[in-house]
Amino acid sequence: MVGLRRLRHIAADGALLAAVAALLLFAPAAALAIAGAPIKPRMPELPQVTASGPVVRQLPAGLPAGTTAPRTAADLKPLATRALGSEGGPALVALLGRTDELQNENDGSRYPYRFSPVVALLDRAPARVAPPRPASSVPS
């Protein structure tokens, strides 16, 4: 009886020691693991602060000077044509008018959201304006 009780105490002490060791070694192990990552994480950009307060970015970004933010499909067409080419701009405006084709391809709770018609349209965009595509897997 005494031997069994002592064995339980030793097992409990061992489990506690293992839990404390895992807790203390987690942060150094995580730092070591991320050090071998192919892309170093970068600090997020912080807003510039001036004497009068923070500088607020104008959105949508990238509009030509003197252009106001589009409010209708007609307003969007020249900007979309400039960005996606003579075929892609009108196709985007037409696609935005058909909500039946813009259904998310997963249940809506998972990111990234997938819209095949939009992806196909962006894949056909001229190379000079095509945004970089995220890698589907990190090379080892």
Reported residue count of the chain is 140
pLDDT tens digits for range 78-101: 888 888 888 888 988 888 877 666
Residue 24 gets the label, from left (phi > 0), alpha (psi -120 to 50) or beta, of: alpha
What digits encode the pLDDT tens for the residues 6-54? 888 888 889 999 999 999 999 888 888 888 777 766 777 766 777 777 6
Q: Where are the domains of the chain?
A: 1-39, 66-123
Burial 12-44 (b: 16+ CB within 10 A, else e): eeeeeeeeeeeeeeeeeeeeeeeeeeeeeeeee
